[in-house]
Structure 1
Amino acid sequence: MKNDLNTATLLAAFEIVMENGEETEFGKRYEGIEASTDYDGYNIYLKGNGVELHIGFHNTYNLTYEQEHLKESFLKKIDAIVAPTVIDNHH
């Protein structure tokens, strides 16, 4: 997969979900995105809208989805979660 996702944005979304989300069986859910990590924290996962994103060591990632529109919707949710933080940081 070509590296077209901004891992800094993805990691920021992960942090926001973990800070603000409600507990789930696997991690935390916020704004329709579920975030979880493995026992050592080297692998993190973001799930929602039929999409699963795995971010591993050295910011490698794997995005799994069945339809392109699901991926687009998922990435828009990620951007929406992170956007207020970006705006806040400029003031």
Structure 2
Amino acid sequence: MGISMDAMLLYGVGFDELSELEDLGELLDNGEMDYASPYYDSPRDEWVVGVALPSEIPGEAEMLEFIRQAKAEFESMTGGLPGRLIVSPNIT
């Protein structure tokens, strides 16, 4: 068993900011919502959750489109709650 260390760009929020979202655990368990774990074996309340963006995007127009799509998907899953762009380590 090894440790994977990378980083993720997400449109989302800290896990605790969605604590009142009833189906958050289900969204994460089903892989519908992405997450980044800031250190190995971190508890969920320390994760960043949201919609992951690709690690490589060829240009500005494509970047804006990915952000728009991620924002719409995140707001759809959270009932319209606002998110933000977050870069986070992802240690698994």
**If the length of structure 2 is used for normalisation, what is the TM-score?**
0.35
Q: Using CA pairs below 8 Å that are at least 6 residues apart, which structure has the higher relative contact order? A: 2
**If the length of structure 1 is used for normalisation, what is the TM-score?**
0.35
Higher helix content, 1 or 2:
1
